[in-house]
């Protein structure tokens, strides 16, 4: 598949032309950078420990105000963005509602756009669309249309996404690559390569510059078509494009794409480039997680250990431990997993039960339920709280050994640990329990337990306080990163 039908020389001329246009735009527009204040850091600390989505952050915010502490709109918007980055979408929506309700601050187009995304993440596309339809016409800026386009592309609502894109063209908003990237990402996921090529041609005809996300989508499309030559061509054009600073995230996408089509040598070359960027990366924990995942996918155990050894001298956060343990499990190296777990256990990190959960799963899968039980008891004695999936792992292990009574006991614990809001998952557990109690359909019960173990037992919060539109007299803000993420996954990820 040829995403770029032009010759290399034509692409080079186009790259330098877009570089000149980018330089002009950059001189006329100051790029925004978040600046954290001591007040913001103190505010964030006051709610950061409330990691459970069932625990509202509103009382903490109310207490903050009651104590007479400052909560500027700037800091609250920053707080929402940080929470979104940590996938704490329920808490981010709570802060958004709290910020604009009660006449604390007027709602701006930026706030509306962010809330659209949060409604989608917490609920569904129908709720987001209902909210969009209530937005007064005079507040529907390019930010709002960009946010609803993002919602439609995430939910794969093709016709509605195309309608919004056409509206953006008519209003003159679609003059930046982000609009095209969102649509191309949608077509890439749906396997519609022809539409993707049409958008690339439209960008070319309208003089809209490619950016690193444009290239990332093209790389993913080539990988989906197992087009190694196409990937090489995209990489060559991207690296020679002076208007694009190739970000490490784009290199990760490229490495993942090469692995997908079996081009291991090219993937390892990119992996080595990424390792060199690790020391100066501002999101080192995120990059380390991705590098560990890449090494596991490539089957490079030595590289996996090399990255771990070079990194673990610093403070290692839970998500990095989780990634290392998950990667070692892919190599079926349980002894190494146990060593990493002991390192985590001896540290002073928050006792996140997801870390031992991987080892509990491995023990249960191998039928070593006695070790799984002992590990659960050990972690509980240190203040850990087992997850629903913890008991599902254990139930699955007992099912493998035909120990139905023990599996029943584990399932009852899973049911008691399941939050009330996860009604569908709780009902699935109850159904499974009933299968076992009747001592029938054991295979079906085992399959149900397996699906519950892999589902993560996730759910969505409930709230319908979305509105409160008023014009913001303050300065308009253009923080695209909070409105959309061009690498967003599906809404139910």
DSSP 296-343: HHHT-HHHHHHHHHHHTTSPPPHHHHHHHHHHHHHTT-HHHHHHHHHH
| pLDDT score recorded for residue 5 | 45
**Any domain includes 451:** yes
3-state secondary structure 394-460: HHHHHHHCCCHHHHHHHHHHHHHHCCCCCHHHHHHHHHHHHHHHCCCCHHHHHHHHHHHHHHCCCCC
Q: How confident is the model over 431-487, as pLDDT tens digits?
A: 777 777 776 666 666 776 766 666 555 444 444 456 655 444 333 333 455 566 544
- Residue-averaged pLDDT of the chain: 81
Whether 376 has a pLDDT exceeding 90, the answer reads yes
Question: Closest by alpha carbon to 126, among 157, 97, 147, 95?
Answer: 157
Residue 43: CB partners within 8 Å, gap ≥ 6?
64, 69, 71, 75, 79
pLDDT grade, residue 403 (50/70/90)? Answer: confident
**Any domain includes 63:** yes
- Residue 64: which domain range? 38-106
| Confidence (pTM) | 0.71
Alpha-carbon gap, residue 144 to 421, rounded angstroms: 30
Q: Please say whether the beta carbons of 271 and 265 come within 8 A.
A: no
| pLDDT score recorded for residue 478 | 38
pLDDT grade, residue 16 (50/70/90)? Answer: very low
Q: What φ, ψ does residue 222 adopt, rounded to 5°?
A: -65, -40
* Cβ burial 262-301 (10 Å sphere, 16+ → b, else e): ebeebbbebbeebbeeeeeeeebbbbbbbbbbbbbbbebb
pLDDT grade, residue 36 (50/70/90)? Answer: low
**Any domain includes 91:** yes
**Any domain includes 188:** no
C-beta atoms surrounding 200 within 10 Å = 22
Instruction: Work out the average pLDDT over 155-167.
Output: 97
Whether 98 has a pLDDT exceeding 70, the answer reads yes
**Residue count (the chain):** 493
**Any domain includes 219:** no
**Any domain includes 468:** no
Q: How confident is the model over 314-342, as pLDDT tens digits?
A: 777 888 999 999 999 999 889 999 999 99
pLDDT grade, residue 48 (50/70/90)? Answer: confident
Share of the chain above pLDDT 70, in %: 80
Whether 192 has a pLDDT exceeding 60, the answer reads yes
**Any domain includes 305:** no
| Cα–Cα–Cα angle for 274, 278, 281, rounded to 5 degrees | 110
| pLDDT score recorded for residue 279 | 75
Q: Which of 50, 75, 106 is the last residue of a domain?
A: 106
Angle between helices 442-455 and 388-400 (to 10 degrees): 150
- What is the total count of domains within the chain? 2
Torsion of CA 132, 136, 137, 141, to 10 degrees: -70
Alpha-carbon gap, residue 438 to 449, rounded angstroms: 16
Q: Please say whether the beta carbons of 417 and 394 come within 8 A.
A: no
Instruction: Work out the average pLDDT over 67-90.
Output: 90
**Rg of the chain, C-alpha, whole Å:** 25
Q: Which of 82, 106, 130 is the last residue of a domain?
A: 106
pLDDT grade, residue 23 (50/70/90)? Answer: very low
Alpha-carbon gap, residue 126 to 464, rounded angstroms: 12
Instruction: Work out the average pLDDT over 262-286.
Output: 85
Alpha-carbon gap, residue 250 to 252, rounded angstroms: 5
**Any domain includes 436:** yes
Q: Which of 106, 130, 159 is the last residue of a domain?
A: 106
pLDDT grade, residue 347 (50/70/90)? Answer: confident
Alpha-carbon gap, residue 390 to 388, rounded angstroms: 5
C-beta atoms surrounding 480 within 10 Å = 17
């Amino acid at each position: 598949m040829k995403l770029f039908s032009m010759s290399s020389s034509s692409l080079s001329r186009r790259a330098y032309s877009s570089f000149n246009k980018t330089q002009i735009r950059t001189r006329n527009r100051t790029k925004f950078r978040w600046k954290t204040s001591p007040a913001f850091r103190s505010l964030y600390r006051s709610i950061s420990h409330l990691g459970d989505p069932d625990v509202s952050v509103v009382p903490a915010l109310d207490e903050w105000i009651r104590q007479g502490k400052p909560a500027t709109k700037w800091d609250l918007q920053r707080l929402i963005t940080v929470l979104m980055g940590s996938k704490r979408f329920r808490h981010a929506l709570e802060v958004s509602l709290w910020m604009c309700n009660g006449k604390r601050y007027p709602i701006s187009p930026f706030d509306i756009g962010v809330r659209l995304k949060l409604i989608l993440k917490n609920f569904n596309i129908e709720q987001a669309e209902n909210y969009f339809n209530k937005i007064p016409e005079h507040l529907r800026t390019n930010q709002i249309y960009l946010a609803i386009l993002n919602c439609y592309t995430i939910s794969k609502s093709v016709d509605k996404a195309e309608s919004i894109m056409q509206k953006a063209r008519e209003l003159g908003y679609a003059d930046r690559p982000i609009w095209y990237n969102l649509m191309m990402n949608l077509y890439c996921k749906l396997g519609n390569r022809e539409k993707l090529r049409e958008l690339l041609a439209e960008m070319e005809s309208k003089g809209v510059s490619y950016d690193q996300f444009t290239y990332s989508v093209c790389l993913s499309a080539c990988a989906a078509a197992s087009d190694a030559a196409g990937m090489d061509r995209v990489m060559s054009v991207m690296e020679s494009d002076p208007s694009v600073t190739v970000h490490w995230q784009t290199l990760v996408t490229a490495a993942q794409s090469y692995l997908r089509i079996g081009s291991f040598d090219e993937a390892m070359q990119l992996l080595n480039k990424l390792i060199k960027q690790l020391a100066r990366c501002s999101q080192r924990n995120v990059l380390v997680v991705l590098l560990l995942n890449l090494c596991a996918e490539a089957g490079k155990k030595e590289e996996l250990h090399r990255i771990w050894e070079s990194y673990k001298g610093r403070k290692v956060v839970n998500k990095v431990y989780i990634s290392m343990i998950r990667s070692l499990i892919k190599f079926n190296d349980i002894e190494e997993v146990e060593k990493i777990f002991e390192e985590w256990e001896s540290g002073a990190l928050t006792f996140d039960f997801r870390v031992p959960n991987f080892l509990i799963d491995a023990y249960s899968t191998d039928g070593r339920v006695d070790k799984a039980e002992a590990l659960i008891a050990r972690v509980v004695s240190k203040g850990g709280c087992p997850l629903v999936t913890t008991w599902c792992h254990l139930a699955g292990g007992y099912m493998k050994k035909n120990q139905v009574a023990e599996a029943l006991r584990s399932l009852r614990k899973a049911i008691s640990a399941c939050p009330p809001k996860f009604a569908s998952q709780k009902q699935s557990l109850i159904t499974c329990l009933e299968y076992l109690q009747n001592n029938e359909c054991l295979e079906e019960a085992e399959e149900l337990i397996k699906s519950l173990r892999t589902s993560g037992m996730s759910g969505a919060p409930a709230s319908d306080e979305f509105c409160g539109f008023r014009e913001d007299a303050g300065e308009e803000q253009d923080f695209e990163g909070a409105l959309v993420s061009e690498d967003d996954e599906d809404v139910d990820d």
